[in-house]
Structure 1
Amino acid sequence: MLTLFEQIDKGTLWRSIGGIHPPERKKLSNRTPIKTLPLADEYLVPLPQVGESAVLIVKQGDYVAKGAVLTKGTHFGHLSAHAPTSGHVSCIETRPGNHASGLAVLSCVIKADGLETHDGNIHPALSADEVDQLTDKQLLTKIQQAGIAGLGGAAFPTHIKLSPASDIELVIINGIECEPYITSDDMIMREKSDEILNGIAIIHRLLTPKRLIIAIEDNKPEAIEEMQHALNRSSLPKGGVRITSVPTLYPSGGEKQLIQILTGQEVPSGAIPAQLGIVVQNVATAYAINEAILRNYPLIERVVTVTGDNTQEPGNYWIPIGTPISHVLTQTQFIGNEHDKVIIGGPMMGYALHNDNAPTLKGSNCILLPAGDELAPEQKELPCVRCGECAHVCPAQLLPQQLFWHAKAQEYDKATSYNLADCIECGCCTYVCPSEIPLVEYYRIAKSAIKAEAEEKKQAELAKQRFDLRTQRLEDEKRAREEKQKASAARRKSNMSSSDKDAVALAMARIKAKKEAANAEANSTAAPQVTDSTSGSSTAAGSETQSKRKDISAAVARAKAKKAAQKEAAIQDDKASNITSSMPETNTPADERQVKIAAAVARAKAKKAGLKQDTADSSAGISSDAANISTVNTPVDDKKARIAATVAKAKAKKAAAQQGADEANTNTVSDPVDDIKARIATTVAKTKAKKAAAQQNSDEADTSPVSAPVDDKKARIAATVARAKAKKAALQQSADEADTNAVSAPVDDKKARIAATIARAKAKKAAAQQGADEAGTSPISAPVDDKKTRIAATIAKAKAKKAALKISTETEHDKD
């Protein structure tokens, strides 16, 4: 079995997949030699890489010579832009672009001076020996500085293609030029065959392949003959270089399609030919390489085919890069109207130009000016009939119908899964579609959208990286500041003396104490929500001011302090009473007058103690009410509180008056006793009165907190029961005292006075307990209506007046 190179040497060709045979229409432009057009008034040099990978080294008003460098690259893939003619830079601004979208691009506008002054770096051609002295790196540098790109249409940087990462075994020089109308490669091979072979020799030196094939379509016999003669004259090795004639078929000039025809190998999806050890270069690119190496002449002009029935001067022209299309149309005598198309490229892969002021580019190999009857008229797009013709002619073996559905539905991810990127946009599917669907246009839009999406994703990823780096930087700076502060604090601490440390500790303690006091005050002044027992709705208790709450708290504190003092006094009085009671009794008879005086003094002191008791009860009741208000948080009307306090005081006075009457009755039956015993009895009575008052305050303070408000009916019942119990206790006490007085025999004066004092203490205690019960129920009692309140107040006033009258009468009787 023959090897691949043996088959190549024999001229074996493999069958191509797909393809079509459209009318060639090449004889319109290949019957005349390549010509040159007059200079235009101004030239527009696009600067697409400026700002991304290049910088502009000229400014407005600068004079530039022909071939002068306009941009300087910043990375390996940059291609420099050069001045196509000599003149002044009139402006640097956006001008119409030579693109299917018609978008404006940044351009350097050069106003030509007509002198064609060459740049000083361009020199006469070097000899073969001088070229041989250049290193491979110098050759690649010259190619890059000349700005050479693939002139077959893709415009890929040539210096990158000529420096592959892997070994190259086969180099293919593409001279197919399969698209209809275009003859620029055909004519340059006819006229510049020797220069092309010199450029091919430089490529062969850089890549050192095992085989080199110059592929030319069989519809170019003149070009095949000229290239064969030039090959025979060249210095290339005769064994490893051959010219192969390829059958005419569109698009056999495609890179992957040509590799498949010449070698039978298929380039995988997403791969490049260099991965198979193959490099493909165009014949026009080989000519530009020769000019760059031998003369240091940059790529500032190229051969462009101007053809079509709308021009009177069809042919091929040397056109400087940046020449306005309008100037070309004028010089070739364009005879169409404003509605006729101007197509950049061939009829299959070209695109209609939106503005004829756009310039020519390095990839512009043809300007097609067809007449109205030269191309098929535009038809309305019809629904797909699923005939499958597009799949039969696709040279990339894709599924154009599926790509069309997904591209039209903007399902770009699914279109990508059907290898949309492998579409070479040859136009075969559009050419054979019976429904007149512009399939290639859908594919181009989808590719642009995918590219834009990928660019957005890339920018988003870069933005995320910048954000992460910024966040990390801020965290590092914060950590560094904290460490610096810690180090500074440790350094200051180590330098501090013992007195300084004590001062710092005291200051910290004061700050902590202030903070705790502030928190305690905030907690005590917080205004929680309360619930109204009548309506059941929650209301905020924020109407009370902070000063009022402080007053209530102070009153509660004073009451507690008074209670503690009274308890201590009671303990001391008990001790004194015990000492006194232990003293031996004497039977010395006392004067009756002195006994009466002592009894009157005792009664006056008891009354005085009772008045103090009432005052303390009143204050304690207010404090208890305030404490209850702050505890259960139930708002009470001020008027009702005053009424309840008045009723309690009236009842206490009535009980005191009743006690005074009982004492008077008791005194009438008492016998005279010794004077010293009377004084002892008086002291015991005072002590017990004080103890009873202290116990009363204690009971009031203990019963002041109320758990929760009760309903109206229960509160009234509880108050009535409490009053009934108090009355019953008072009546029982009076009955007991009356029975005692009635059946008791005359006793001595000391025992009578002691019994009277005990009775008074019990009466006071019962009255105090009744007042405490009423005061304790008042905070939780539900509000009563105004009529009942007024009646209760009237009754209380009447009872108070009656008790006061009775006390006054008894006092006068005692004095008498």
Structure 2
Amino acid sequence: MLTLLEQIDKGNLWRSPGGIHPPETKALTSQSEIQTLPLAKEYWVPVPGLQDTCTLKFNIGDRVLKGEQLTAGINPQYLPVHAPCSGTITAVKEIRANHPSGLPVISCIIESDDTQQQTNFEPIDLDAADTDTILDRIRLSGVAGLGGAAFPTHIKLNPSSDIELVIINGVECEPYITADDRLMQEHANEIQSGIEIIHRLLQPKRIIIAIEDNKPNAIQAMQRAVQQSQLPKKAVRVTSIPTKYPSGGEKQLIQIITGQEVPSGAIPAQLGIVMQNVGTAFAIHQAVNVGKPLIERVVTVTGNGVKAPGNYWVPVGTPLPHLIEHCGIIEQGQQLHKVIAGGPMMGHMLPGIDVPVVKGSNCFLVPGPDEIATESSEQACIRCGECAQVCPARLLPQQLFWHSKAKEYDKASSYNLRDCIECGSCSYVCPSDIPLVEYYRKAKAAIKLQTEEKAAAEQAKIHFEARLKRLEAEKQEREAKAKKAAEKRQASMSGNDKDKVAEAMARIKNKQAKLKPVDSEPKTDKKQNVAAAIARAKAKKAKQAEHRPHKGLETASQPTETKSSEESNIDIQLNGSNDKKAKVAAAIARAKAKKAQSSGGIQTSQNNSITNTPAAFGEANTDEASSKQAKIAAAVARAKAKKAKNSAKTVPDAETTHTGSSALAEPVVTSNASDKSTDFEEKEHKKARIAAAVARAKAKKTAADTAQPKKQISQVDVEPEGDEIESDAQTELPHLDSESKQTNNIDKQARVAAAVAKAKAKKQQNQLDEHPHHGTTTVETEDAAKQSAEQRKKARIAAAVAKAKAKKVSSQIDNGDAES
């Protein structure tokens, strides 16, 4: 069985699927030689990827030479751009791209001069140069595939796998285009020189120059060049292939010459095959052997719309209007005919002629009226299947059309949309005039955009994850460094230092423990403790009263000593308590002793006159601060407890009695400057009610105990604490009621006591108005003078309340008599 190379040497060819035979229409330009285009006023050189993949080496206003490199690529695969002429850079702006989209692309505007001074083109000594040097020269010269794709040539000439076969594509199957045909006829030797450079770089076993059989002159020219080549005779050969469109496609030509089909998604290099265009081989020769970069190419300007169709050497960046103007336009109405970039099959209609010539521009077609088919609307697909029969890639154009039109790009991709070469054969044979290729192009662009967005998202995800890992690593590093430093400090510390640190930590813990709120004992327990302390103090006072003369309060030293004892007992009970009320009670006990000492000079009176009445004392208290009043209230509680004790144990004849005015001690209403004024007033109301009950009971008790007038001792009774006086009243009233029942004259005496209470209240009011500070010490008088008018007003109100309560007690006594 013959090998592939043996079959190629014998000239065997294989048939490719599909294809069509449109009118060639090459005679317009195939017989004319390549001409040189006149110099344009300015050139628009596209600079794609500026600031992204490349930088501009010149500034606006700088002068450049012909062939001078304008850009420097950041990416090693980037192809630099060169100046097509000498002149001055006047601007860097966006110009409409030579693309079906018509989107703008950044371009360098060069105003040409008449000198056409060029940079020094230095060839490479191939005998001394290595492969890398040659590839680098090809890259710096900006050589790209001139067959239409403009893929970087230095990448295709440096494959990762071994190459056995190189195909030089000179088919040029598309109608109207003759640029490669004329290039092979006129520059066959230069093309052969470039093929030799390709042979040196790839070292293939065979090089095949493929030309369609409708180009006999080109075939003869290349055969003569091959015979003059220094390569072995079997290394290079010219092969003529049948004329059929699109046999010039890369995969289609490989299948025709070798019979092998490139798999979907694969490249020919994976099969050991590389394909280059004849125009690319010529550019390689110019770059390596001459040192001239790719700054111009052969362009076919054809169509019945131009006066002088032909092939021209056109510098890259030449404005299309300049090219068409030189060829001459046949006037057809007031509008310029539409211009097609490329051939009629694979080319695209330009949205405007203000575009530059690029490296991939091989033809500009200006059709006449008879060359343009009448526009017809798109019809529904009739499912004839003609498109599938002519597809050279063996695809299903119907399914691709449906999914592309419905924007179901995933399904379109599943039908190998990317394998479509956009040859236009399906659109050419479609009876419904459906622009199938246009749908495929839009679908490809959308898929490409989705792929780029997905890749960008994946890249962003990778960067984000890498950032998180970096931050975590930095955190762990900081923690490890801090831990290491702490261990180092601890290791360097001596025993004394460690002890000091431990002591400091212990002090901090103790301080924190003291600052923590300690759960206080229940209020009821604290009140019980206070009540117990008060009870013990009362019992002790009562016991002392038994051993004293029955004249009661004759000296000032005895109450002081007694109350000091009571204060000490209460302070002992309250020691260590955190309850606020307990602390207040202790303060009250201390103030009570002080007040008792100041009140030691109480005098007696035979006519029941009152030296210091409760109202007068209340006035004095009104001038005191609210805290002092609370303390005095606690002292009253102990005094009343003592009085109850003495009344129960002593004989009425020898007992020092209290008058009704003492029993009818009214509550002292004072102003409170603290935030608890409202609570204090409510408590005072409660005390007033309790005081009234106590007064009523004491009046009855006084009537029972006093059969004849006794020496009365006026005593200052001050409002006790609400809880304490309430307890005293509950324990004292039953006892007093039982004794009052044993007295026959209780009703009359009670009325007398009520009258006395009213008289005393009236006297208190008079004394308050005439001598507001009567009975007070010098210190108290000075304190009272400092009080505000509002406090004095409250004192007057207290006196009025005392009178009202006395009246109420009298009425209650009257009611009690009526009931009895």
TM-score, structure 1 length as denominator?
Answer: 0.69
Q: Verify: 1:171 aligned to 2:177, yes or no.
A: no
Q: How does 1:523-542 map to 2 (within 5 A)?
A: none
One-letter amino acid matched to 2:33: P
Report how far residue 180 of structure 1 moved: 0.5
**Corresponding residue to 2:308 among 306, 310, 313:** 313
Over residues 516-569 of structure 1, what are the superposed CA-to-partner deviations in whole Å (9 max), with x where a residue is unaligned?
Answer: 68xx9xx99xxxxxxxxxxxxxxxxxxxxxxxxxxxxxxx99x99887454224
**Corresponding residue to 2:456 among 456, 459, 463:** 459
Q: How does 1:414-813 map to 2 (within 5 A)?
A: 414-469=411-466, 512=512, 564-574=529-539, 599=652, 602=655, 604=657, 626=679, 646=685, 649-650=688-689, 653-654=692-693, 656-658=695-697, 660-661=699-700, 664-665=703-704, 697=724, 801=807, 803-804=809-810
SS in 1 for 2:28: coil
8 Å CA contact retained: 1:67, 1:82: yes
8 Å CA contact retained: 2:346, 2:423: yes
Report how far residue 354 of structure 1 moved: 2.6
One-letter amino acid matched to 1:442: Y
SS in 1 for 2:657: helix
8 Å CA contact retained: 2:690, 2:725: no
One-letter amino acid matched to 1:101: S
SS in 2 for 1:599: coil
> Is the deviation greater in 202-211 or in 471-480?
471-480
One-letter amino acid matched to 1:230: A
SS in 1 for 2:88: strand
**Corresponding residue to 2:230 among 229, 235, 255:** 235
Residue of structure 2 in register with 1:81 after alignment: 81
Residue of structure 1 in register with 2:772 after alignment: none
- Size of the alignment, in residue pairs? 648
SS in 2 for 1:165: coil
SS in 1 for 2:370: coil
Structure 2, unpaired ranges of 5+ = 548-645, 709-716, 745-801
Residue of structure 2 in register with 1:27 after alignment: 27
One-letter amino acid matched to 2:322: H
Residue of structure 1 in register with 2:119 after alignment: 119
One-letter amino acid matched to 1:459: A
8 Å CA contact retained: 2:659, 2:702: no
Cα distance in 2 for residues equivalent to 1:90 and 1:798: 111
- Change in CA separation of 1:660 and 1:398 when aligned onto 2, cut-off 3 Å: same
Report how far residue 400 of structure 1 moved: 1.9
Over residues 167-190 of structure 1, what are the superposed CA-to-partner deviations in whole Å (9 max), with x where a residue is unaligned?
Answer: 111111111111000111111111
Cα distance in 1 for residues equivalent to 2:407 and 2:514: 69
Cα distance in 2 for residues equivalent to 1:572 and 1:735: 26
Residue of structure 2 in register with 1:284 after alignment: 279
Cα distance in 2 for residues equivalent to 1:511 and 1:24: 104
SS in 2 for 1:396: coil
8 Å CA contact retained: 2:181, 2:215: yes
Residue of structure 1 in register with 2:11 after alignment: 11
Report how far residue 487 of structure 1 moved: 7.3
8 Å CA contact retained: 2:43, 2:110: yes
One-letter amino acid matched to 1:105: V
One-letter amino acid matched to 1:32: S
**Corresponding residue to 1:347 among 344, 347, 350:** 344
SS in 2 for 1:404: helix
SS in 2 for 1:110: strand
Q: How does 1:228-267 map to 2 (within 5 A)?
A: 228-267=223-262
> Is the deviation greater in 384-393 or in 209-218?
384-393
> Is the deviation greater in 332-341 or in 248-257?
332-341
Cα distance in 1 for residues equivalent to 2:160 and 2:264: 19
One-letter amino acid matched to 1:151: L
Over residues 137-192 of structure 1, what are the superposed CA-to-partner deviations in whole Å (9 max), with x where a residue is unaligned?
Answer: 22212211211111110111111001100011111111111100011111111111
8 Å CA contact retained: 1:566, 1:694: no
Cα distance in 2 for residues equivalent to 1:50 and 1:173: 33
8 Å CA contact retained: 2:660, 2:702: no
Cα distance in 2 for residues equivalent to 1:650 and 1:293: 124
Cα distance in 1 for residues equivalent to 2:428 and 2:473: 63
**Corresponding residue to 1:220 among 215, 222, 234:** 215
8 Å CA contact retained: 2:704, 2:739: no
- Change in CA separation of 1:59 and 1:246 when aligned onto 2, cut-off 3 Å: same
- Change in CA separation of 1:507 and 1:486 when aligned onto 2, cut-off 3 Å: farther
**Corresponding residue to 1:150 among 141, 145, 150:** 145
Cα distance in 2 for residues equivalent to 1:471 and 1:606: 92
Cα distance in 2 for residues equivalent to 1:333 and 1:257: 37
Cα distance in 2 for residues equivalent to 1:459 and 1:361: 29
8 Å CA contact retained: 1:174, 1:281: yes
Structure 1, unpaired ranges of 5+ = 525-555, 583-594, 628-637, 670-688, 702-725, 743-795, 811-816
Q: Verify: 1:325 aligned to 2:331, yes or no.
A: no
Residue of structure 2 in register with 1:717 after alignment: none
Cα distance in 2 for residues equivalent to 1:579 and 1:654: 28
Residue of structure 2 in register with 1:106 after alignment: 106
**Corresponding residue to 1:356 among 348, 353, 357:** 353
Report how far residue 654 of structure 1 moved: 4.0
Report how far residue 20 of structure 1 moved: 1.3
User: Equivalent pairs: percent with the same residue?
Assistant: 49
8 Å CA contact retained: 1:650, 1:800: no
Cα distance in 2 for residues equivalent to 1:251 and 1:667: 146
8 Å CA contact retained: 1:174, 1:214: yes
Residue of structure 1 in register with 2:135 after alignment: 140
Cα distance in 1 for residues equivalent to 2:112 and 2:545: 139
SS in 1 for 2:243: coil
8 Å CA contact retained: 1:650, 1:797: no
Cα distance in 2 for residues equivalent to 1:363 and 1:623: 97
SS in 2 for 1:138: helix
One-letter amino acid matched to 1:133: A
8 Å CA contact retained: 2:184, 2:191: yes
8 Å CA contact retained: 2:665, 2:695: no
Report how far residue 331 of structure 1 moved: 1.2
- Change in CA separation of 1:733 and 1:109 when aligned onto 2, cut-off 3 Å: same
- Change in CA separation of 1:316 and 1:696 when aligned onto 2, cut-off 3 Å: closer
Cα distance in 1 for residues equivalent to 2:219 and 2:245: 19
- Change in CA separation of 1:647 and 1:323 when aligned onto 2, cut-off 3 Å: closer
Cα distance in 2 for residues equivalent to 1:510 and 1:409: 79
One-letter amino acid matched to 1:92: V
Over residues 630-652 of structure 1, what are the superposed CA-to-partner deviations in whole Å (9 max), with x where a residue is unaligned?
Answer: xxxxxxxx9xx69xx75873465
> Is the deviation greater in 258-267 or in 20-29?
258-267
8 Å CA contact retained: 2:298, 2:312: yes
TM-score, structure 2 length as denominator?
Answer: 0.69
Cα distance in 2 for residues equivalent to 1:508 and 1:310: 100
Residue of structure 2 in register with 1:304 after alignment: 299
8 Å CA contact retained: 1:73, 1:79: yes
- Change in CA separation of 1:60 and 1:663 when aligned onto 2, cut-off 3 Å: closer
RMSD: 4.8
- Change in CA separation of 1:288 and 1:738 when aligned onto 2, cut-off 3 Å: closer
SS in 2 for 1:167: coil
One-letter amino acid matched to 1:803: V
8 Å CA contact retained: 1:24, 1:180: yes
